[in-house]
Structure 1
């Protein structure tokens, strides 16, 4: 099956600044693909090139089997897009605005606009200029989803949405995938990526520094370990655990007959477990980090764009 999006050695320069550097990505049809990275990593630039809003300096792009530079309106009607900085205004009601977009984007199934508005708790009778930021964002979500396009490109789509609406938005993404649509989701809300994405790519300074499913990105990440040991000598356990190279932030405290151990483990946890197994363990907690911790380790120090921290 032809990938929904295929990027080959994609590069974008702004003068001396390289926003995207030799980017290779292949996004399979019918999947949710998460794109994450710090401000200035190149996420928004990449999405804009995919949509032919800006042109690459080098490299090739294929979107739904076509070159977006030549696909024209017919290709754009097959894509639903939420920009990172959504600007909507005007005296028209939300309903009239969406009716206009429906004429531009192509056929919309009868009742679809109302169904989406109900799911997002959006009042379509109010003028657009009178809507709050969150309700304008809901309007943007409806216009992207309403014609059920083969491809959805979503740049920070839940900005301004309250938690309940965010949850419903995630259901919209999974519903779209179940219908066979492809979703490219760029987000700083890493829980969104964890809950919806099939594959994740991490961008840093315009390059992919990691790619895989969410579970694979968590492998090798740090773990928090807390244990209670009965009738154990503090100095002995401190010496045993302190000798393990993967153990850091070690704290060993005695309390009555119990020794409390707290440590950070990076990588293989088996050596620590084997040390603890020589003692009587009365409680043990091993906390796997969420995706955010894993991603931050991949980034190192987040880069800052030349635009004061905004995504390039």
Structure 2
């Protein structure tokens, strides 16, 4: 009996903001490596998640949501997403299952113009949609673009995710193991720590604040007693935003720090001493030097 070939490849997850791309990647990996929130545009960078199977390795690329970009930061985010459809082996195009296919069609055509890789349309959040409506929308999407498959899932509950992964695996070519089989992502721990802090700000503060926040980890050191000491700076664009993040008598900053520290301890499997600072970096989202400094190149 001949041995099955080892399959591997890169799989881009793209779509509008807030359709569940990061939730899907975390679900596939069985671990949280990408931050999530109910606000759009939470993800800013491309992040690779590595999923190993017997006989294969799949490298999933989570991307920022595709939207009409205004600021330099937003243009960077959209460029990150659009460039991810080039040179990959499979594209997962995520849509909110409740979205109107007719309204989604122009964006689908714009993003996928000239793409040669197989594209699977993934209809997410099916747990929120009556079955009859879902079937109607699936039928409508089949006339929008020559998708390889139209696949309904719920990233939140896991429904349909395992069969989706098997379908993607079957579309991958024979190839090498690109990463060691004991890592989940190629991004450094410092990056994930900064993202965890930013997620807590997304979840705890008012709407206008999270979009003006950039988190930079200034130091990351393990002490002799095993405690990991981390210092990070939360950059905002205005004094009023700094006041909201610090809160009355520092209560909001303490809450952000406490929630982030607990999750960072789970990530690192170690005790963590987390120190947070808040700095006003005026209009950093339009400043090319600051964007580079904060990791948005």
TM-score (norm 2): 0.26
Structure that is richer in strand per residue: 1
Q: Answer 1 or 2: which has greater helix percent.
A: 2
Rg larger in structure: 1
Higher relative contact order (CA 8 A, sep 6+): 1
